[in-house]
Amino acid sequence: MDDSDGEEAAGQAQRRAEWSDVTPLPQNDGPNPVVPIAYKDDFTETMDLFRAVFHAQERSPRALSLTSHAISLNPGNYTVWQFRRVILEALNVDLLGELDFTQSVSNGNSKNYQLWHHRRWVAEKLGASSTSKELEFTKKILSLDAKHYHAWSHRQWVLQSLGGWEDELNYCDDLLQDDVFNNSAWNQRYFVITRSPVLGGLKNMRESEVNYTVRAIIARPENESSWRYLRGLYKDDNVSWVHDSQVSLACLKVLSTKSSHIFALSTLLDLISHGFQPSREFIDVLNALSVQDSDYDLAETNDSDLAKTIFTMLECEDPIRANYWRWRKSKLP
């Protein structure tokens, strides 16, 4: 028996003594129990005790500590969490301790709806004083898994409900420097520039964001997230999308390194379909590139033929989505 087994056994013995006045209540398996539960381990024993306490609605310190133990054994059990909140309210417990408790539960498995819901309930009660703690908590979890959906949801809730926007754009930048393919960080960036009360909104941020995004695209052109973000910067403003030369130049620059970049070709087509008219010079450059690549012939004269050729390239480069590209080709005027 190692130390942790010893601690476990001691904890079990202590619980048995503490709860000697309560008759455990086993799970009712319905009208036709097929197999009686064959063994009594810590899990079964704890849950039997929990059912008895829940049934009696005992709101006591020992019941609170029983929920801690039950949650440590199965953090997914929804009823245990709910009853814990009932007890916390009844006993008027200092909720700062709950932050430590949820932190320790998250060390085991943080992908659990109940845990996050509980954390939010606690933070809501604590109010603005918990802002920095909540931002730190999510940051720590995101440092282990930068796409953790629950952590991002919680963080967005904290920003909107408790504040703390000031450093958020820098935080997104840090994460994108670590991994520019992190779609969650791009999503958060969009959340910040469109919703932060300190940045002045999308229009105000567009120019600097386009610069930032174009740099990210040129560094890694195969990144779906940065291209979509770029498009999102021109939401509901196709006129600027078509006329901002930064976008078409970014496509050209990417294509000049390799003419078959899917997202660059797709973006170029999106521009053309919204009225972008490539200059003669633009087409010449593209032609020169395709000749270098030699698989495709862009030596055509008008935009529509150019677009058709590009679609043919896409069908070949991305065969798994050939139907999608064929459909877009069919939409050409």
Partner 1 sequence: MGELAAEKHVKYIVSVEKKKDSFEAVVMEHLRLNGAYWGVTTLDLLGKLHAVDVNEVVSWILSCQHESGGFGGNIGHDPHVLFTLSAVQVLALFDKLDVLDVEKVSNYVAGLQNEDGSFSGDEWGEVDTRFSYIAICCLSLLRRLEKVNVENAVKYIVSCKNLDGGFGSTPGGESHAGQIFCCVGALAITGSLHHVDRDLLGWWLCERQVKSGGLNGRPEKLPDVCYSWWVLSSLTMIDRVHWINKEKLVKYILDCQDTENGGISDRPDDAVDVYHTYFGVAGLSLLEYPGLKAIDPAYALPVDVVNRIFLRR
Work out which of 2, 23, 36, 301 binds partner 1, going by CB under 8 A: 36
Binding mask 122-161 vs partner 1 (x if CB under 8 A, - otherwise)? -------------------------x-x--xx--xx--x-
Task: Using alpha carbons, select from 206, 212, 208 the residue that is nearest to residue 241.
Answer: 206
39 binds partner 1 (CB under 8 A): yes
Q: What is residue 118's three-state secondary structure? A: helix
Q: Which of residues 47-106 bind partner 1 (CB under 8 A)?
A: 47, 51, 54-55, 74, 76-79, 82-83, 85
How far is 180 from 218, CA to CA, in rounded Å? 11
CB of 279 to partner 1, least distance (A): 28
34 binds partner 1 (CB under 8 A): yes
CB of 157 to partner 1, least distance (A): 7
Angle subtended at Cα 321 by Cα 317 and Cα 323, rounded to the nearest 5 degrees: 110
113 binds partner 1 (CB under 8 A): yes
320 binds partner 1 (CB under 8 A): yes
CB of 229 to partner 1, least distance (A): 7
How far is 193 from 207, CA to CA, in rounded Å? 12
Euclidean distance between the first and the last CA atom of the chain, given in angstroms as a whole number: 76
Task: Using alpha carbons, select from 102, 100, 63, 113 the residue that is nearest to residue 84.
Answer: 63
327 binds partner 1 (CB under 8 A): yes
Catalytic choice (40, 111, 258, 308): 111
Task: Using alpha carbons, select from 180, 186, 188, 134 the residue that is nearest to residue 161.
Answer: 134
DSSP code of 26?
P
CB of 22 to partner 1, least distance (A): 16
Work out which of 106, 112, 182, 248 binds partner 1, going by CB under 8 A: 182
31 binds partner 1 (CB under 8 A): yes
120 binds partner 1 (CB under 8 A): yes
How far is 52 from 295, CA to CA, in rounded Å? 74
190 binds partner 1 (CB under 8 A): yes
203 noted as active-site residue: no
33 binds partner 1 (CB under 8 A): yes
How far is 36 from 30, CA to CA, in rounded Å? 12
Residue 182 has a CB neighbour count (10 Å cut-off) of: 20
Report residue 187 CA to chain centroid gap. Answer: 8
How far is 127 from 84, CA to CA, in rounded Å? 20
DSSP-H helix ranges across 109-148: 113-126, 131-144
Binding site for partner 1 (CB under 8 A): 27-39, 43-44, 47, 51, 54-55, 74, 76-79, 82-83, 85, 113, 117, 120-121, 147, 149, 152-153, 156-157, 160, 181-184, 187-188, 190-191, 194-195, 224-225, 228-229, 231-232, 235, 319-321, 323-324, 327
Q: Please identify every residue annotated as catalytic.
A: 111
